[in-house]
Amino acid sequence: MNKVKINKYLRELIPFHGNHFLTGNGYFGVRGTLEEYTKEHMPCINMAGIYDRVGDKWRESVNAPNPLYTYIVSGGKKYSLPDVECESHMQELDIYRGIHMRKTTWRTEQGIVTVTCERFASMANQHAIGMKYSVCTNYDGEVEIVTGIDGDVWDINGPHFTKLLISENDKILSVTGITGEMGISVTAQEKVCTDFDAEISTEKNNKSVFRRIRIKTQKDKIYTIKKTAVISSSVDDNPVIEDIKSADYDKMKNDSINAWEKIWEISKVEIDGDDEAEFALNYSIYHLNCIAPRNLKSKSIAARGLSGQVYKGAVFWDTEMFMIDYYMHTEPEVAKTLLKYRIDTINGARAKADEYGLQGAYYAWESQEGGIEGCSEYNTVDVFTKRPMRTYFRDKQYHVSAAIVYAFMKYINATGDYGILAEGGAETIIECARMYRSLLLKKADGNLYEVHDVVGPDEYHERVNNNAYTNRMIKFCFEKAVEYTEYIKNKYSSYYDKLNEKYDLDKLIPLFKTSAEEILIKQPDENGIIEQFDGYFGLEDASVPEVRARLIDPKEYWGGAYGVAADTQVIKQADVVAMLSMFKDDYSKDIMQKNLEYYEPRTEHGSSLSACMYSLLSCYTGDADAAYPLFMKSASADMAPGGKEWIGLIYIGGTHPASEGGAWIAAVKGFAGLDIIEGKPICRPCLPSHWQGMRFNIIVQGKLYCVNISKDKVDIKIQ
Ligand code: IFM
């Protein structure tokens, strides 16, 4: 299997299909919408790392003017979905070549018109998009193709372009939008080649420009236009290399296919005995490949990838905890770029720490360019009162900084690139540790440091004390600050001297050491269960279905001050289970098993980040069959409609890269049992009983390995 495909048009699935059929190249994402869609149907070319704010609405990422905008007219009537019902419709995405394709037929007064279109976001040239659009009638008659650039783009909190510059020059159409907040320009240009004679005229309005291509059709003859388009902005890392004037569709397509082939040579995972799982996993990998900030400087990945403006196009802990593992083993330069983003945005994190009266670096919960905090204090809307609802994600999810430190550790183990410490990594880690030190509390008669008033990964319980996950991550952060500072002292002494001068490391490091030793780490109780936070066991032990049944409105928020889950033991997502899978060597299988059994039935899995952690931990207990459905849930997050699309009244639909990255982790670290020991990969597989084997490539410390696992053998070869 190499395609996702539908054979029927369903209007109600327009938002889902926009995600399901997404194409992209890391610089932008093109939603899998149809060419004729205007903004009500959420088409978009979502730009990586460009943001804008309108009035006092949320800042969000910016969508480019849409150069794919195209529809047909027959007998003076516009034929477009969803407004005019079609006779047949097919849409598909070839995940191995990155090509989106649709074929639709309409019955017009003159007869049947068939439209076929293939398009791609070039993987070879990150500014380019190609589109081949064909029309065929089963009668001799007339059809118009209307094609151009739609500057009236879909926005959640827009419009972001306060000025639009529209031009036509030497048959090249161009729309430049200029953002209101910072005056950033985003330009779409396009050119069309036809293989037939036609009468062509150009039309403009104040937002868009398009051509009308009038064709006298002969029965069953196919009329094709080939469009090459270029997207650029005034804040690009790389110049546009494709000259739009000389751009050739077929060459552009071949180059892109070749670039995809190279990516798949390393990233494909093969599974013997389970085609469905193999495809779901590679579909997840496809999405990770579409959003990787390849050849970009210090960019990261938003929680909804490049599928739109949901979650403000912002970067969450998702990248460091769930996605970076895939990149560090398939394209380590991409993983480095993700970490560079955190290094380069440290001033934003310093400003946030300062805002909350803390030292060091407190990274944004929803990070935008420069580390600007995109998260609002009122992050959802009450469905009953329609009033903004106070949530404490922004203020209290302290664990985000430690996730970044954890990612540095994973990256260094996987790549051996300790050099990143001297490129700002060590300072980032020290700054995170300084932030955590300023959170530590000791009771008058207490021996241990406690951390109060936090939100852990389980967002349904806000402002809790001693969240097991958060405290353990803080300890880890102190330990790494000590270890890596020691390392740079020996290896990069002049960099160390600079940092020592700035932070007085000779005094600070011993403080980190005692902080690591003296922080309260929750231990398993007499039943082997680790309490998620102080007082959690005292909450009502209601089941997930019971709590769900208490909802008055299906869009109601479960957490916050008075959400249905807030006073119960029902949790949103992996919390203690996440901690156990991240620190697997600290716990016995028995403890892992007991906690899985305790927390799984109490977990709503209301976040797509949850299932993969349960899957991974189940593998660590040796129970691959229990892990399997959770792995499939994670790998299939964008395969079928029905995912969670609302928090309160806020739309949260889009692709789920953390779930996709989590599926890769569950497959490679869980089922294949990959670990890096002394710089080399080893595998202790734990395959689901119906799998016969797995094959994949991984890069470890600069070497490419081919891993071949069968029921009774593991073969790891350097390539
Ligand atoms: O980062 C996650 C969070 O853990 C749960 N809510 C959604 C966020 C973005 O994916």
pLDDT tens-digit profile of 490-506?
999 999 999 999 999 99
| Ligand 1 contact via 609 beta carbon (within 6 Å) | yes
Q: Which atom of ligand 1 is nearest to the CA of 459?
A: 5
Summarised one tens digit per residue, pLDDT across range 659-686 is: 999 999 999 999 999 999 999 999 999 9
Rounded CA-CA distance 437/192 in Å is: 60
Host domain of residue 123: 3-241
Neighbours of 74 (CB within 10 A): 21
Q: How many helices (H) and strands (E) does the chain have?
A: 20, 28
Mean pLDDT over 602-610 rounds to 96
- Residue 370 within a domain: no
Q: Which atom of ligand 1 is nearest to the CA of 572?
A: 5
- Per DSSP, the three-state class of 189 is strand
pLDDT of residue 372: 96
pLDDT of residue 361: 98
pLDDT of residue 16: 96
- Residue 30 within a domain: yes
Mean pLDDT over 3-15 rounds to 96
Q: Are 290 and 642 in contact (CB under 8 A)?
A: no
Residue 70 pLDDT exceeds 90: yes
Rounded CA-CA distance 221/198 in Å is: 14
- Residue 705 within a domain: no
- DSSP assigned state of 58: P
Rounded CA-CA distance 208/191 in Å is: 15
Rounded CA-CA distance 692/711 in Å is: 6
pLDDT of residue 240: 82
Mean pLDDT over 234-249 rounds to 87
Residue 88: closest CA among 104, 100, 74: 104
Q: How far is the CA of 255 from the centre of ligand 1 (A)?
A: 36
- Residue 192 within a domain: yes
Q: How far is the CA of 620 from the centre of ligand 1 (A)?
A: 24
Question: Which residue has the CA at smallest separation from atom 6 of ligand 1?
Answer: 607
DSSP per-residue letters across 81-96 = TTTS--SEEEEEEETT
Mean pLDDT over 37-50 rounds to 97
Q: At 198, which amino acid appears?
A: A
pLDDT class of 318 with cuts at 50, 70, 90: very high
Residue 417 pLDDT exceeds 80: yes
| Region at 642 (left for phi over 0; alpha for psi -120 to 50; beta for the rest) | left
| Region at 602 (left for phi over 0; alpha for psi -120 to 50; beta for the rest) | alpha
Summarised one tens digit per residue, pLDDT across range 422-461 is: 999 999 999 999 999 999 999 999 999 999 999 999 999 9
pLDDT of residue 301: 98
Residue of 291, 300, 318 with the most ligand 1 atoms within 8 Å of its CB, for mutation: 318
Mean pLDDT over 263-282 rounds to 98
Rounded CA-CA distance 547/702 in Å is: 49
Residue 648 pLDDT exceeds 90: no
| Ligand 1 contact via 380 beta carbon (within 6 Å) | no
Question: Which residue has the CA at smallest separation from atom 10 of ligand 1?
Answer: 303
| Ligand 1 contact via 411 beta carbon (within 6 Å) | no
Residue 319: closest CA among 302, 333, 306: 302
Mean pLDDT over 505-518 rounds to 98
Rounded CA-CA distance 106/85 in Å is: 7
Rounded CA-CA distance 157/629 in Å is: 37
Residue 105: closest CA among 120, 94, 116: 116
Residue 437: closest CA among 524, 508, 499: 508
Residue 136 pLDDT exceeds 80: yes
Q: Are 35 and 117 in contact (CB under 8 A)?
A: yes
Q: Are 131 and 147 in contact (CB under 8 A)?
A: no
- Residue 104 within a domain: yes
Mean pLDDT over 20-24 rounds to 98
- Residue 146 within a domain: yes
Q: Which atom of ligand 1 is nearest to the CA of 304?
A: 10
Q: Look up the pTM and report it.
A: 0.97
- Residue 676 within a domain: no
C-alpha angle 376-379-380 in degrees, rounded to nearest 5? 155
pLDDT of residue 643: 82
How many domains is the chain built from?
Answer: 1
Q: Are 104 and 81 in contact (CB under 8 A)?
A: yes
Mean pLDDT over 177-188 rounds to 98
Residue 242 pLDDT exceeds 80: no
Residues designated as active site: 459
What CATH number corresponds to the domain at position 181? 2.70.98.40
Question: Mind spelling out the 3-state secondary structure of 302-329?
Answer: CCCCCCCCHHHHCECCHHHHHHHHHHHH
Mean pLDDT over 94-104 rounds to 98
Q: Which residue has the tokens 């993700």?
A: 338
Calculate what percentage of the chain has a pLDDT beyond 90.
96
| Ligand 1 contact via 607 beta carbon (within 6 Å) | yes
- Per DSSP, the three-state class of 286 is helix
Burial group, residue 181, by CB count within 10 angstroms (0-12, 13-18, 19+): middle
Whole-angstrom CA distances from 610 to 469, 615, 662, 672 are 14, 9, 9, 20
Q: At what angle are helices 468-491 and 493-503 packed, to 10 degrees?
A: 130
| Ligand 1 contact via 318 beta carbon (within 6 Å) | yes
List, in sequence order, every residue forming a beta bridge with 269; answer none if it has no partner: 696
Summarised one tens digit per residue, pLDDT across range 382-414 is: 999 999 999 999 999 999 999 999 999 999 999
pLDDT class of 646 with cuts at 50, 70, 90: confident
Residue 589 pLDDT exceeds 90: yes
Q: Which atom of ligand 1 is nearest to the CA of 608?
A: 10
Residue 115: closest CA among 142, 83, 137: 137
Nearest-Å Rg of the Cα atoms of the chain is 26
- Residue 446 within a domain: no
Mean pLDDT over 306-318 rounds to 97
